[in-house]
Amino acid sequence: MKTYRADLHIHTVLSPCGDLDMSPGKIIKKAKQQNLDIIGITDHNSTKHCSVTQRLGKKNRILVMMGAEVTTREEVHCLAFFEDIEKLSQFQEFIDVHLPSIKNKVDYFGHQVVVDENERILEEEERLLLTALDVGIDEIERKVHDLGGIFIPAHINRPKYSLMSQLGIVPPGLKAEAMEISKHIGVSEFLKKHQEFKDFGFGLIRSSDAHYLEHIGEVFTGFEMNSASFAEIRLALAGREGRKTIAV
């Protein structure tokens, strides 16, 4: 077993709020500098920067978890990850059906561009990504799991766009591989404030939610497992077969 450093919540330039410097190439370079072994690419309601980042990650021995940060109908942000391009593109189709067609206002929200490994612009996303899908959290969770994915409500203790702000309490019976707590609070402090999570059965992770290069890897989660792979990460999140996560 080895401990891998993972920052599973990173935005790229495709997210309107993501800095223009957040190209796949620069993100991988920065992740390398930060000694990260695993990163998650999680743009708002889009998966379109995942495959290029994964290709670049492979060359640099970084595992890229491909996913998105989706906004549910209740305006809860949730991370979703998929094992391969096919599942990922099926999830992209689901997003395309459920994302309302509101045109992005670049001056107000920022650019939403897809680039290649050399930072050439391939596509400008016209639809505003910073809005909610028209489906609720339960249906999205089911879709992610139907596609064999990993579902993690994001920064659950944040005062906005979180499970706790939007839905008050964790819905009983919600199926999630883990919960992400915000980077502004340590795990022990969080558990002191929220005793109810102590024996909750969800793993806790912390990530940077980086929108700027300098924030990548600022906060990360340790994954103790045999190798860096989607399947091993799933085991570690569940705390099964000797694998585990270490978030401080």
Partner 1 sequence: MMKVKDIIDDLGLTVFSGKSGLERELTGGYVCDLLSDVMGNAQTGQTWITLQTHRNVMAIASLKDLAAIILVKDNKPEEDTLKQSEEEGIPILGTAEDTFTIAGKLFNLLKNQQ
**What are the residues binding partner 1 (CB under 8 A)?**
74, 136-138, 159, 164-169, 171-172
Strand locations in the chain (E): 2-10, 38-44, 63-71, 77-82, 113-115, 121-124, 150-153, 178-181, 203-206, 221-225, 244-246
**CB of 87: closest distance to partner 1 in angstroms?**
26
**CB of 178: closest distance to partner 1 in angstroms?**
20
- Name the one residue in this structure whose structure tokens are 């270490």: 246
98 vs 211 by CB, closer to partner 1: 98
d(C-alpha 57, C-alpha 235), whole Å: 22
**CB of 73: closest distance to partner 1 in angstroms?**
8
The amino acid that residue 214 corresponds to is: E
**CB of 63: closest distance to partner 1 in angstroms?**
34
- Residue 213: closest CA among 17, 79, 21, 3: 21
25 vs 171 by CB, closer to partner 1: 171
164 vs 187 by CB, closer to partner 1: 164
136 vs 186 by CB, closer to partner 1: 136
- The SS3 of residue 42 is strand
Q: Which residues of 45-71 are buried (b: 16+ CB within 10 A; e: fewer)?
A: bbbbbbbbbbebbeeeebbbbbbbbbb
d(C-alpha 99, C-alpha 123), whole Å: 18
- Name the one residue in this structure whose structure tokens are 């989660």: 221
34 vs 165 by CB, closer to partner 1: 165
**CB of 136: closest distance to partner 1 in angstroms?**
6
Q: Checking phi first, is residue 192 left (phi over 0); if not, alpha (psi -120 to 50) or beta?
A: alpha
128 vs 137 by CB, closer to partner 1: 137
Q: Which residues share a beta bridge with 179?
A: 204
**CB of 200: closest distance to partner 1 in angstroms?**
16
